[in-house]
Structure 1
Amino acid sequence: MTMDIRLARIDSRLLHGQVATVWTKAVTPNRILVVSDNVAQDNLRKTLITQAAPPGVKANVITIDKMLKIYTDPRFDVFKALLLTESAQDMVRLVKGGIDFSQIGINVGSLAFEDGMTTLTDAIAVDNAGAAALKYLVNDAKLNVSIQKVPGDKTQPILPLLEKHGL
């Protein structure tokens, strides 16, 4: 067996109100895994994220390599995980490392705008590297990658938005 990943979400805000309340109720995880090399090295962000976990759910901040190690470790089969990455590039590293998201797909919540990025929706902006990573997840990894802020919203496939903006 492997770890039960109930939601794989790309969200530059990581663990915030919508994730801690609405998504946690929808997917009923017992563990929130924030998978980020950057955050794992930032004690302040790590502390804030672990404190933001809702009651009854433990949050951990781990590196991408650590996630790849524990994914198939039977000791972690008890995890019913909500997995969060800050970027599509981090999600690609997980996929290339052997994590199977084929049953659940990838949810894109929010990607904050920075200079040089293209705005796809009011909550999603990408640069060329982010767009390439999202296209890899859809075209090469054959995953369902869609935008959905909260569970009640209709899902929107990411690829047509990338194509519409010439990415």
Structure 2
Amino acid sequence: MTMDIRLARIDSRLLHGQVATVWTKSVTPNRILVVSDTVAKDNLRKTLITQAAPPGVKANVITLDKMIQINKDPRFDVFKAIILTETPADMLKLAEGGVDFSQVGIDVGSIAFSDGMTMLNDSIAVDNDMAAQLRKLHDDFNLDVYAQKVPADKKQDMMELLSKKGF
């Protein structure tokens, strides 16, 4: 057995209202794992994230290497987890490290816009590197990579969104 991953989501906001309320009701996790080397070093952000967890669900902030380690450890098979990363690069590193997302695919919730990026829809912006990383998750790992803000929304195929914008 391995950890039961209920949702794998790329979201530059990490753990926020939509995830803490709507997604946890939908996928019923007992653990939210925020996987980020950057956040793991930032005590303030770590504290805020762990406090944002909804009742009955524990949140942890861990590094990418730690996630790859615990994914292979049978002691963590009891986790029914939501996995959150800030970037496509981090999610790709997890897949390359052997974390199996084949049952759930990769949900791209929100990626904040900054200079040099292209908006794919109203909440997701990417640059060339991010587009390539999302394609790699789809092509090399045969994953369903989709955009879905909340469970009630229809899934949008990320490959179609990327193609429409010339990526």
- Matched residue of 1:59: which SS? strand
Where does residue 91 of structure 2 map in the other structure?
Answer: 91
Alignment pair present for 1:48 and 2:48: yes
Residue in 1 that maps onto 2:65: 65
Alignment partners' CA distance in 1, 2:161 and 2:47: 35
Aligned to 1:132: 132
For 1:106, the equivalent position in structure 2 comes to 106
In structure 1, the gaps of 5 or more residues are none
Taking the aligned partners of 1:74 and 1:91, their CA distance within structure 2 comes to: 21
1:37 aligns with 2:37: yes
Paired position in structure 2 for 1:121: 121
TM-score normalized by the length of structure 2: 0.99
Local SS of the residue matching 1:101: coil
1:103 shift after superposition: 1.2
> Counterpart in 2 of 1:152?
152
Q: CA deviation at 1:129?
A: 1.1
Once the two structures are superposed, residues 50-77 of structure 1 have per-residue CA deviations (whole angstroms, 9 ceiling, x without a partner) of: 0000001000000000000000211111
Look up the match of 1:161: 161
- Pairing 1:1-20 to 2, within 5 Å after superposition: 1-20=1-20
Distance 1:6 1:160 in 2: 24
Cα distance in structure 1, aligned partners of 2:28 and 2:164? 35
Instruction: Give distance in 2, aligned partners of 1:130 and 1:102.
Output: 20
Paired residue secondary structure (1:15): coil
TM-score, normalised via structure 1 length: 0.99
Give the total of aligned pairs.
Answer: 167
SS at match of 2:72: coil
Structure 1 counterpart SS, 2:7: strand
> Matched residues in 2 for 1:76 and 1:23: separation?
21
Helix, strand or coil at the partner of 2:67: helix
Q: Percent identity, aligned pairs only?
A: 72
CA distance in 2, matches of 1:123, 1:161: 12
- SS of the aligned residue for 2:136 comes to helix
Question: How many angstroms does 1:119 deviate by?
Answer: 0.5
Residue 39 of structure 2 aligns to which amino acid in structure 1? V
